[in-house]
Structure 1
Amino acid sequence: MKLLRIGAKGAEKPAIRLEDGTIRDLSSVITDLGGDALSDSALEEIRQADLQSMPELDANERIGPCVANVGKFICIGLNYADHAAETGAPIPAEPILFMKATSAIIGPNDDVIIPKNAIKPDWEVELGVVIGTEARYVDEANALDHVAGYCVVNDLSERHFQIERGGQWVKGKSADTFGPIGPWLVTRDEVADPQNLGMWLEVDGHRYQDGSTKTMVFGVAHLVSYVSQFMSLQPGDIITTGTPPGVGMGIKPEPVWLKPGNVMRLGIEGLGEQQQSVRAYEG
C-alpha cells in the first residue's frame, strides 16, 4: 500500500493512493498515519476496508509528511561505501548514529529554507525506514518484522554547522525544513528487497546523485537490529539510512552548495518522488 497524509499543514488527513491514482480518505479507519496505526494489525485493517467507498481527496492538494508525530528521527552516517570514499572518510566498523530534530520534518514538496548564517547547505537522498511495532534487542533475522514500510527522505545538511562548528553532527542536520519525508509510506510487503532500490537526486535539472541501496555498508535489517541494542524503537520512529555519492560537498574540483532559487528533485525506485524549492531565511 502507498499511504500518505494530505491537506494543509497541521490539518492533514490519512489517505491511501490506489493503483488507479486516486487518493482515498482513511479517516474512518485510522485517525492519523502514525503510532499504533502503523502496526501490522492496523495496516491489515486498511487492506480489508472497502477503499473504493472512501471519500476521494483532491490529488492536487498539498502532501504532508507521510508519518505523523514522529518520536525519533535516527540517522546513519557514512553508510554507503562510495559516499565514504568521496568524503575521504574510512568505512565505519559499526554504524554511525546521530539524531535529526523532528522539528525539521516537512512534506515532500514543501519549500526548504536555508537557515540563518548558513554557508554550506547540502542535499542527501536517503531511504527512510518507518518502524511499525516496538523493537527492543531484536536480532537481524527478525528485524524487518518491526518495519511498517519505507519512504524517501532528503537528509538536508549544513556542512559548516555539521563539520566545522565542533560537537556532534545534529546541529548541521536539524534546521527547520531539513527533513522532507514522503510522498508515501510504502508498506514493506511492496518492497521485495530494500537492498536493491535505485535512488537519485537532481538540482535544477542536473543529476548529482544516481546510486543504489546495493552499496549500503550496513543493510536495513542490520540497522534496525543494531539501533535496537541501544534504544527501543517505537511505532512511527524513522531511521534514515545514509546517502550514495554525489552530495554537494563531494563535487570536484569545487563543492556545490544549495542557494535560494534552486529546485531539488529526488526519488527512490517504487517509493515516489519529492520536489523542493529552496528559499532564503526571512526573519
Structure 2
Amino acid sequence: MKLATYKDGSRDGQLVVVSRDLSTAHYATGIATRLQQVLDDWNFLSPQLQDLYETLNSGKARHAFPFDPALCMAPLPRAYQWADGSAYINHVELVRKARNSEVPATFYTDPLMYQGGSDDFIGANDDVICPSEAFGIDFEAEIAVVTGDVAMGSTPDQALDGIRLVMLANDVSLRNLIPDELAKGFGFFQSKPATAFSPVAVTLDELGDAWDKGRLHLTLQSMWNGRTVGMCEAGPDMTFHFGQLIAHICKTRNVRAGSIVGSGTVSNRAIEKNGKQEWAKGYSCIAEKRAIETILDGKPSTEFMKFGDTIRIEMKGKDGQSIFGAIDQEIVSRAG
C-alpha cells in the first residue's frame, strides 16, 4: 500500500491512503489519524489500511479525492530517529580520491552513519530555505526506510524484517560548512538542514522483485533545473544493504518504531571506455560531480546550487509509473 500525510495545520498532519497510480487518495481517519499510530500498532492497523487501499484501487472508495503532492508533508513529519548511512562506498571513494585521501579499510566492513535532525522534516514540494548561497547548497538523492521495533543485537537478516515502509529522500547538505564541523571530530550538525522526503511511502510488496534482500534495484532520477543529471541504479553498487545499516544501529541499542534510516547518496561506479573512465549514470549530488571533475581535470567546475534553482528526485517502476511521487523543490533565501 501507499501512505502519505496531508497538511492540516498541525505538526503531524492527517494520514491518507493513496492509490497505486497516485491519482486518488482517501483519509484514513476511521483507522488512524497519524502514521506513527500505525507504526506503533502495525499488525492491527496495517491490515485495515490495506483493505482501504484495495477498495481505493478498485474505484469503490466512497470518499476518495484527487491526490495532490503539493499538500503533503513528509510521510512521517517528525520521527523518533533519523539516521543516515553512507551505503554506497563508491561515493566515499570518489570524494576521498579527489582530495588525495585513502579510504580506511574499515569503511568496507563497517558503514558510516550520522544522526540527523528528526524534529523538522519538510514535504516533497516544500521550498528548501537557506540563509546563504555561500554555505554551498547541495542536494542528495537517497532511499530511506521506516522501521518498526528492532531489538538490540539484531542480525542484518533480522533487521530486514523490521522494515515497514520505503521512501525517497533529499538529504540537503551545506558543503562549505562541512569541513570545519568534521574537523571538530563530532560530525555533521549545522551542515545538515531539514531533510525532505517523497510524498508517498510504500510497503515492500509494492516494489515486487525490485526489492531484493534490502536493496532496491531501480533507477533513481535526479533533475537539476530541469536537466537530468542522474539516472543512478540504486541496487548494484550498494555496499551495505538496509538490514546491515539497521543492524549497525542495533549493536548497542534498540531501534523503535518510527525510526528512519537513509542509504546515503546513491552512487554508481565508473565504466572504462576507450581507455578513459566515464560516469554514464551521472550523479545524485553535486559534491560527487565536483569530485569527478577534480579527478579528471584537477579542479571542480560545477558550482553548488543558487537561490531559484530546482531539484526533482523520482523513481519509476518497471511499468514506467512513479512509485513514490516526486520530490520537487526550489532553493530559496530565508530573507525571501
The TM-score with structure 1 as length reference comes to: 0.89
Query: In structure 1, what is the equivalent of residue 75 of structure 2?
Result: 66
Does the CA-based 8 Å contact 2:222-2:314 persist in structure 1?
yes
Query: In structure 2, what is the equivalent of residue 189 of structure 1?
Result: 205
Q: Secondary structure at the match of 1:225?
A: helix
Question: Structure 1 residues 153, 256: closer, same or farther in 2, change over 3 A?
Answer: same
Matched, 1:115 2:162: no
Query: In structure 2, what is the equivalent of residue 276 of structure 1?
Result: 329
Cα shift at 1:233? 1.1
Matched, 1:240 2:278: no
In structure 1, which of residues 128, 145, 170 is the aligned counterpart of residue 188 of structure 2?
Answer: 170
In structure 2, runs of 5+ residues without a counterpart are: 98-102, 268-282, 294-299, 317-322
For residues 141-191 of structure 1, the C-alpha deviation after alignment (integer angstroms, 9 at most, x for no partner) is 22221111100100110112222343333224432xx30012111012222
Q: Distance in 2 between matches of 1:104 and 1:122?
A: 18
In structure 1, runs of 5+ residues without a counterpart are: none
Question: Structure 1 residues 210, 69: closer, same or farther in 2, change over 3 A?
Answer: same
The structure with the larger Rg is: 2
Stretch moving more, 141-150 or 31-40: 31-40
Alignment of 1:258-269 (within 5 A): 258-269=305-316
Does the CA-based 8 Å contact 2:150-2:159 persist in structure 1?
no
Question: Structure 1 residues 143, 233: closer, same or farther in 2, change over 3 A?
Answer: same
Query: In structure 2, what is the equivalent of residue 7 of structure 1?
Result: 7
Q: Distance in 2 between matches of 1:43 and 1:54?
A: 20
Question: Structure 1 residues 6, 13: closer, same or farther in 2, change over 3 A?
Answer: same
Query: In structure 1, what is the equivalent of residue 145 of structure 2?
Result: 129
Q: Secondary structure at the match of 1:101?
A: coil
**Number of aligned residue pairs:** 280
Cα shift at 1:75? 0.7
RMSD: 2.3
Query: In structure 1, what is the equivalent of residue 121 of structure 2?
Result: 105
Cα shift at 1:222? 1.3
Query: In structure 2, what is the equivalent of residue 47 of structure 1?
Result: 50
Cα shift at 1:9? 4.7
Stretch moving more, 153-162 or 269-278: 269-278
Cα shift at 1:278? 0.8
Percent identity among equivalent residues? 20
Query: In structure 2, what is the equivalent of residue 25 of structure 1?
Result: 27
Q: Distance in 2 between matches of 1:25 and 1:125?
A: 29
For residues 217-244 of structure 1, the C-alpha deviation after alignment (integer angstroms, 9 at most, x for no partner) is 1011211222211332111110011112
For residues 118-138 of structure 1, the C-alpha deviation after alignment (integer angstroms, 9 at most, x for no partner) is 421111000011012343321
Amino acid of the structure 1 residue aligned with 2:63? P
Stretch moving more, 187-196 or 48-57: 48-57
The TM-score with structure 2 as length reference comes to: 0.76
Amino acid of the structure 1 residue aligned with 2:4? L
Query: In structure 1, what is the equivalent of residue 297 of structure 2?
Result: none
Does the CA-based 8 Å contact 1:25-1:57 persist in structure 2?
no
Query: In structure 1, what is the equivalent of residue 174 of structure 2?
Result: 158
Cα shift at 1:54? 5.5
Q: Distance in 2 between matches of 1:123 and 1:57?
A: 32
Cα shift at 1:14? 0.5
